[in-house]
Structure 1
């Protein structure tokens, strides 16, 4: 449905219909409203760019995954001489109109397409700064890290800056029986019918939810630290052993991951955290439920491995495999090998731990 006056010139935005949103969910206004209302995320970008106006003044900036162009507007207002905003979503049609409405046409150029395919009409290694909200759920899922790596290697000047450029992914265990019953266990019996097949599938899907701090029952372990100044595509596939210690008696319903982001090129230390004890963000936390709960005691340790692998290099389709065990970690940690199941969005394989001296198979 289109409510524009037929006498007026019909813009690209006016021509968009519900079909566009069905095929391109990132063009939907609710997506951008949700992102912008994430005050931790948006205020972090705004503050770090405005705090570093001396770095942006007179520079050429590339905004990857620009959406409706808010980060580009921040950069232009901070004094950038030229901002190139790129997005493969039709949200760029909104961005172009917003840029014009705010009189930044002479500074911000908006391009529609994948960064790997577009012509920026600039010479190689001529970009001073890359800005991007590249982080995905569980840091990697639906991230655009591959796009950042491509653009960095092709256009960023030697010594050029990336905002943000560092992040750390952490893991810990949680109690979450109520939500697990609501999302997973209810499939055991649906209106008197056995639907355990769906429950099994539901266990393979992560849940992106807000976890309360008092649900976390173990210590945290650093799984992966990335630096976009040196990150390679090969680094996006990894396997990391971990060790966590229980902080109280109780039980574990699943594993939780969270991440923190660092703008290391800021002249003052700056970043934010998506942990349960930090202010909430739209990323929330990523939960991987166990088949059955695990009883725990204060001081008990668990160890295992977390493996992640993009499918066909696509960060929209990744496999995650988690294995957790008890015993003496030094005896077997080098032998842990998580097997990733292809054509599955995200999977977790979590055997009920027993005191063993070598890895047990499910």
Structure 2
């Protein structure tokens, strides 16, 4: 089916609002951002702030509240409307302004050439899937002043082996579809079969756009005897600047659930392991418009002295 531009715009709008509602209903990330802005409010005083994506409007509103002199939002106009309504009637209402259009098309108002801070709820599943990563990099390179800040700017991607949690009334031998081999869901701690392995650290202050697609070797240490039926990708989010290193939230299986889910990659052939056994392999993530969610994962793994399994 061909999707025209109006239909694509409607789909993007619906997706943005779903994300917006999920963020605003997530006490974990909301509390983390609130503590960051309140603890380091001096970073925002009299600064010009650009909210890339304005996914929930929350970061724009917080920036206004802690002393930004101007806050400009791009992306989700419905969330921008929420911010305008929240500020209406207050003496700070003129601080906030939204700009409609894609990040490549817009111009900053009042002839502004630079901003001091970029804020964005930019992370997607497995950090990069359905994210605003490229938008933030574009905005950074075009508008962020030298020494400017991106908040949050650090995400660390991890991977672990897991068992499959079969839903009730579902047969285990039921044939998997392409969608069922790659899912966004939550894994419980008792499903974990290995320790976690750090795959990648992204710092938006220095990252390049090509960093979102990568290949990495890994080594996993089995926690117990059993079958590894899939891999779970999850990440931690933080803000780092000079002497500041502030963890914000994690979407790991041992942490409380957030609006962001983990990414589950199920194996075609399960891998039998024994406690403390090492599993080695590689994982690659790259763009593929014809694949589910616009990305494709390539995986190879084996136990030590075992034959390699590939996906």
* Residue 258 (structure 1) shift: 0.7
Q: Could you tell me how far apart the structure 1 residues matched to 2:219 and 2:47 are?
A: 45
Report the 3-state secondary structure (helix = DSSP H, G, I; strand = E; otherwise coil) of the residue aligned with 2:129. Answer: coil
Residue 306 (str. 1) matches residue 294 (str. 2): no
Deviating above 6 A after TM superposition, structure 1's stretches of 4 or more consecutive aligned residues are: none
Q: Could you tell me how far 1:24 is from its partner in structure 2?
A: 2.3
**Which residue of structure 1 aligns with residue 124 of structure 2?**
136
**2:159–2:232 contact (8 Å) kept in structure 1:** yes
Please say if 1:81 is aligned against 2:69: yes
Residue 198 (structure 2) aligns with: 222
Q: 1:298 to 1:361 in 2, by over 3 A?
A: closer
Aligned to 2:14: 25
Q: Identify, as 1 or 2, the structure richer in strand.
A: 2
Q: Which of 267, 273, 276 does residue 296 from structure 1 map onto?
A: 273
Matched, 1:70 2:46: no
* 2:236 maps to 1:236: no
Structure scoring higher RCO (CA < 8 A, sep ≥ 6) equals 2
**Closer, same or farther in 2 for the Cα pair 1:301/1:269, shift >3 Å?**
same
Unaligned 5+ residue runs, structure 2? 1-7
The alpha-carbon distance between structure 1 residues 114 and 300, as it changes in their structure 2 partners (threshold 3 A), is same
Cα displacement (A) at 1:96: 3.6
Would you say 1:174 and 2:162 are equivalent positions? yes
Aligned pairs (5 A) from 1:122-201: 126-179=114-167, 182=170, 185-186=173-174, 188=175, 199-201=176-178
- Rate the CA distance shift 1:103–1:112 in 2: closer, same or farther, 3 A: farther
Q: Do residues 210 (structure 1) and 199 (structure 2) align?
A: no
Moved more, 31-40 or 156-165: 31-40
What is the Cα deviation at residue 39 of structure 1? 1.3
Q: Secondary structure at the match of 1:264?
A: strand
**1:110 partner SS:** strand
Q: Normalization by structure 2: what TM-score? A: 0.87
Q: How many residues align?
A: 303
RMSD (Å), alpha carbons: 2.9
In structure 2, the CA distance between the partners of 1:291 and 1:151, relative to structure 1 (3 Å rule), is: same
Q: Deviations over 1:111-154 (max 9, x none)?
A: 12221211113667621111111010111111111001000011
Residue 234 (structure 2) pairs with residue 258 (structure 1): yes
The TM-score with structure 1 as length reference comes to 0.76
Cα distance in 1 for partners of 2:303, 2:89 equals 60
Asked whether the 8 Å contact 1:168–1:224 carries over to 2, the reply is yes
* Equivalent of residue 40 in structure 2, options 40, 48, 52: 52
Aligned to 1:11: none
Say which one has the larger Rg: 1
- The equivalent residue for 1:193 is none
Using the alignment, how far apart are the partners of 2:214 and 2:153 within structure 1? 19
List runs of 5+ in structure 1 lacking aligned partners.
1-18, 189-198, 329-354
